[in-house]
Amino acid sequence: MSRKAPLLRLTSLVLLLGASLAGPVSAGTPAEFIDTASASGIAEIETSRLAIQKTTSTDINSFAVEMIKDHTDANRDLKAIAAHHDLPMAPEAEILDRARKLMLQVQEGESFDIAYVANQIKAHEDAIQLFKDEAEHSASPELKAFAIQTLPKLQMHLDMARKLEMSHHKGN
């Protein structure tokens, strides 16, 4: 078995975590957008908390701290919009439970860093598409404004993750 096989399995696991928690990229109704966007935000927060515990890389740690702050802020704003429209948020306890069960299987060290960054790229590409769709087709002026306001930060996160990917793949 090659040295890359465990890394590929690990990367797939972490990508599966992000994809399974975020749900479909396209959300049609305001309730579906709120559910998908909040679940995606919770997944970002939880995988970033894990990254802080597992990484030895300063730049990965700094990125993870920023992800926690920004996605916590976005979910707080989304929760306020949902409450204003009497729409439910994603069931946070259930998502956290699923995330923790998957995250316990993730390894330490450099292979974790690479898998975490790959997950962040995929998760932010999906989130950007979700938020663009909402910005263009939203039935709710508040959700449309939220999506438009959040898109630049999501794009910045994606750009940061891509830079991390380049710097952490130098030696591989």
d(CA 86, CA 30): 11
Q: What is the model's pLDDT at position 8? A: 40
Q: Enumerate residues 6+ apart whose C-beta is below 8 A from 2.
A: none
pTM for the full model?
0.78
Q: What is the model's pLDDT at position 15? A: 44
Q: For 4-11+29-167, which CATH superfamily applies? A: Ferritin, core subunit, four-helix bundle (1.20.1260.10)
Q: What is the model's pLDDT at position 145? A: 96
Asked whether 26 and 130 are in contact (CB, 8 A), the reply is yes
**Which residue blocks in 55-109 are alpha helix, DSSP H?**
58-84, 92-103
Q: Residues in the chain with pLDDT < 50?
A: 1-17, 19-24, 104
CA distances from 118 to 12, 17, 39 (A): 9, 12, 19
Q: What is the model's pLDDT at position 6? A: 44
The DSSP element (H or E) to which 55 belongs, if any, is: none
